[in-house]
Amino acid sequence: MYNYTKHFINGEWVESTGSETIDVINPATEEKIGEISSGTEEDVDRAVKAARAAFPSFSQTSKEERVQLLENIANEYEKRKDDFIKIITAELGSPVTFTEEVQYTMGLNHFKAAAKILRDFEFTERRENSYIQKDAIGVAGLITPWNFPTNQISTKLASALASGSTVVFKPASKTPIASVLLTEVMEKAGVPKGVVNLVNGKGSEVGDAISSHPDIDFVSFTGSGAVGKKLMQNAAEDIKKVALELGGKSPIVVLDDTEVETAARTAISKVASNTGQICSTGTRIFIPKAMHDDFVEAVKKLVDEYPIGDPQDKNTFTGPQVSKDQWEKVQDYIQQGIDSGAELIVGGKGKPEGLDKGYYSRITMFTNVDHNSKIAQEEIFGPVMTVFTYETIDEAIELANDVIYGLAGFVVGKDPDKLAKVAKSIRAGRITINDSAPDFTAPFGGFKQSGIGREWGDYGIEEFLEPKTILGMPK
């Protein structure tokens, strides 16, 4: 049992002022694996006071000291590799191979990238008759979702620490244990007391208290649009800066020079990775009309090569949804797809055969989809994909852009001019051509209703800085 009923405030593990706890459930077994405290407004206030008290000295540390701190964190994180893999696999249901290769690694890479970038980051600049100085923003409130338990918080923590800001953070209450480990890593790495404070609990209580706390200068949030809107309203009360990393409905545009098998494998692997619970994954595939039927046949033939099942099994590609609620939401969308008249290529409602226990969905693809229907327009956050055909590249681009989201996009094919044209025309924050690897030094974030602001690398650090202009600064 992972029982972590203390918050980390001012460098110490302290009891919550509340007495309630929240169960942590393994979605593959539906069993309780631990519990955390359901924190209170008072806990948040204590944490904010600690972060505020730590700010004057931490914000004045040298760049070299903070580079060293980020390197220490990366080293300590690596020492806990087995623990991270075990915990993320258990609390999220993320398959162990994916947990190791993606979940664990992404969480680590943000600290490494921030250390590397910080080394050459310029906090001051002279321009005409100005001296520009970038100051740490102050106390930041960080709120994160459950789909990448270390990645989402690591990118925020790495940028905050690089900037010299202090933080109060609240991870998702479905996957909080990885954040407890990460806080232990911070402690071991020598993060000064009060600089990083963890308050566990419900979004409606702890999250709400963070976004409305008058002594928090900046809230960096990753999660759903619905909560993002509420948080912005709270933050508006005292003109608090917000950065929002929200949902997506990303397109995959397949060019006509792509092998059908490559198109089918791209589609299946994108929608089935992390059980479709990736904000930036491709969930709308655009196929040249002439390729459609062969593509459908290829998906039917290949889908079983992506096994769904026990996250502890190294060969599993897709685990369960994170929770019963999320499973029900996905089932509901599949029913809406059927009701809208779309045609099922693979998958459908219910659990895959032999997986009665655990919140498992079937990898599902619909074709002949009405582009205005809910399954075509709304984020499902499960392994459900919609397939569309196109006749010209311009038509594909127009359809790809015809959603309220703009987080990411994918282009698959060979012709360099067409690849570049599609990549440049999709209105989204990150476009991946073929199977290019992520770049932790490049910005990540959304256009349109996918968010405000950027994370990762120097763009992420800039979010935690306030530029100040001094006119007439003596040389």
Catalytic positions, please? 245
Taking the least distance from each CB to ligand NAP, the nearer of 146 and 360 is 146
Alpha-carbon dihedral sign for residues 295, 297, 299, 305: negative
Report the nearest approach of ligand NAP to the CB of residue 323 (Å). 9
User: How far is residue 261's CA from residue 291's CA, in Å, rounded to a whole number?
Assistant: 11
End-to-end Cα distance, the chain = 60
Report the nearest approach of ligand NAP to the CB of residue 212 (Å). 9
Alpha-carbon dihedral sign for residues 276, 282, 285, 227: positive
Closest CA to 346 of 301, 382, 307, 294: 301
Report the nearest approach of ligand NAP to the CB of residue 290 (Å). 33
Tokens of 292: 């459609």
Taking the least distance from each CB to ligand NAP, the nearer of 94 and 152 is 152
Report the nearest approach of ligand NAP to the CB of residue 22 (Å). 8
Say how far residue 45 (Cα) sits from the centre of its chain.
26
User: How far is residue 300's CA from residue 346's CA, in Å, rounded to a whole number?
Assistant: 6
Taking the least distance from each CB to ligand NAP, the nearer of 100 and 245 is 245
Q: Can you state the angle between helices 81-92 and 177-189, rounded to 10 degrees?
A: 160
Answer whether 402's CB lies under 8 Å from 409's CB: no
Taking the least distance from each CB to ligand NAP, the nearer of 175 and 266 is 175
Report the nearest approach of ligand NAP to the CB of residue 280 (Å). 7
Report the nearest approach of ligand NAP to the CB of residue 277 (Å). 7
Report the nearest approach of ligand NAP to the CB of residue 196 (Å). 17
SS3 assignment, position 162:
helix
Answer whether 221's CB lies under 8 Å from 242's CB: yes
SS3 assignment, position 406:
strand
Residues 6+ positions from 474 with CB-CB distance below 8 Å? none
Taking the least distance from each CB to ligand NAP, the nearer of 168 and 231 is 231
The 10 Å CB-count burial string (b at 16+, else e) for 9-43 is bbbeebebebeebbebbbbbbeeebbbbbbbbbeb
Residue 70 vs residues 66, 179, 455: alpha-carbon distances, Å: 6, 17, 16
Secondary structure tally for the chain: helices H, strands E: 16, 23
Q: Can you state the angle between helices 260-272 and 292-302, rounded to 10 degrees?
A: 60
Q: Which residues bind ligand NAP (CB under 6 A)?
A: 143-147, 152, 170, 172-174, 202-204, 207-208, 211, 222-224, 227, 230-231, 245-248, 279, 379, 381, 407, 446, 451
User: How far is residue 442's CA from residue 450's CA, in Å, rounded to a whole number?
Assistant: 17
Answer whether 37's CB lies under 8 Å from 14's CB: no
Taking the least distance from each CB to ligand NAP, the nearer of 173 and 275 is 173
User: How far is residue 298's CA from residue 11's CA, in Å, rounded to a whole number?
Assistant: 55
Taking the least distance from each CB to ligand NAP, the nearer of 6 and 202 is 202
Taking the least distance from each CB to ligand NAP, the nearer of 145 and 309 is 145
Report the nearest approach of ligand NAP to the CB of residue 315 (Å). 26
